[in-house]
Chains A and B, each alone.
Chain A
Amino acid sequence: MREKLVIRGLHKAYTINEGFGRTSSVVALQDVSLRVQEGEFMTLLGPSGCGKSTLLMIVAGLYPKTAGEVLLDGCPIDRPGLDRGVVFQEFALFPWLSVKNNIRFGLQMKGVPREEHDRIIRGFVELVGLEGFEDIYPHRLSGGMKQRVGIARALAYDPELLLLDEPFGALDAQTRASLQRMLVGIWEKTRKTVLFVTHSIREAVFLSDKVCVLTARPGRVLDVVPIELPRPRNMLSAEFFDYERRLAGLISGQLGIEAQDLFITD
């Protein structure tokens, strides 16, 4: 297998403007190194505020990095590009575009010939189960439907790498479960390389090939845990629970709390 994404010695410090010419600085990521194989489902897991979103946004090319290297297929990344698709926690759909035209946006930017748009859009609308909603404006959709559009929009122009920042964090438990299943299905069908961010241990174990556990701020890689469970995964199996317990142990050690406390809030 080829290495799709390589991150080496990545540092990120935010400079905060305190007003009246004063600035301060927050170190969000410190010496992060990570390798993601082609076709792999990699999850970044860590407590809130540890720098997961920061890392993902740097890979997306949306935030500048302070130091280090990010290589996609061997090429350094320093700006956004259509070789990556990004799904945001807050959906970030364009309210002035219908579902269909939200999905079309990336195709237009990529310069895909107009004749092919309808066929491609239809394919992705089916993939995420949005048939019949093509001409609706986003504000009329429920949260789960919105994120389906978000996923279709990020996949439509056929990126190499799919980046998702807590995409199901704003959804209720049932919707989240059905979208998790849908995402696994899409990944099995398209075999895209995926970098997924979550703070939910259960979500990480359910979805991932490998889970990269980050330390509390400043974020460093604590461990990369391969999840060797057959799919479809059963959340109620003993093996599943073993993985959950192992990850909870890693994270609670970071936070200085009991591992069992992590299961209360999940």
Chain B
Amino acid sequence: MAIEKPADLARGVGPITVRARGRAYATALFNNVFPLFLVLLLWEIVGRLEVIHVALFPPVTEIFAKMWELTVEGIFVRDVLHSLWRLLFSVLLAMILGTVVGLFMGTNRFVEAMTIPPLNFFLSIPGIAVFPIVILWFGLTEKTIIVTLAFEASLTICLNTWSGVKGVDSALINAGRALGATGPRLFYRVLVPASLPAIITGYRLGFSRAWRILVAGEMLASIGSGIGFRIFEARSFLASDVMYSGVIIIGVLGFLLERVVLRSLEIATVQRWGMVREL
């Protein structure tokens, strides 16, 4: 929306009242939670009707009871913390590595030529496929999981950062140069913020890729803790309620991390600047 008069301004960007903000949060919560609630309700009904054997498809209430039990016992809390720690640590590594390499690729022709072929090659390998090799290197340890995750996520982040920098409007670069920015200052005052929408998209993709591999990795590396490990272990005892609890927790955590952390980053930056469209 374009502003023509200062009067519009007061309406548009004046201090937001606490009540308006509260209402906005309530609406956002409702929009995100209500559709999920419907799914759970349907699940409960199907579970209670015992169309499918209870051991295979327990009603949600029983799953939640089990979830509560395991949470109170501290098992789930420990699992969640371990999984989260692995995820956040490796994604953080990947963000640093992928962003730095991607930015260099996008600004230096030699670096670009040297990195694009291997990058595309590694990107075409599913993360799970390299797990056995990494296990060979580091054994069944934390390191195995973190290295694989960081590697996978950094590839995605790198690719997005690179294409983001390549796609920066040349008019903005010219404006920066005309205003006296050169070398490193042109780089971090113009190129980096201008490619931020693509960089953030890379973080989201890298994050979800890492999240997927994390769960699989915990199953493969049978590392003694973590949500993925818990599900895999429960399978050998046919404890379907534990397995479902684990799956739900994975879904909820992934959802919250994406919505709360990455989406907030986006709202606070590129969306506020109008660099991505609000829907």
**A residues adjacent to B (C-beta < 8 A):** 57, 60-62, 80-82, 84-86, 88, 90, 92-96, 105-106, 109-110, 131-133, 135-143, 145, 153-154, 157
Contact = CB atoms under 8 A, between A and B. Distances in A.
B3 A96 contact: no
B6 A132 contact: yes
Contacts of B274: 95, 137-140
A61 B180 CA distance: 11
Contacts of B180: 80-82, 106, 109-110, 157
B174 A140 contact: no
Contacts of A140: 1-3, 12-13, 274
Contacts of A154: 178
B18 to A, nearest CB: 21
Contacts of B275: 95-96, 139
Interface string B181-209: 10001000110011010000000000000
Contacts, number: 92
Given A109-B185, A133-B3, A138-B274, A96 B196 contact: yes
B171 interface: yes
Contact of A94 (B1, B13, B175, B272): B175
Contacts of B194: 94, 96
B29 interface: no
Nearest to B178: A86
Interface string B6-18: 1001001100000
Contacts of B9: 132-133, 136
Interface string B164-182: 0000010110111111110
Nearest to A82: B180
A137 B194 CA distance: 14
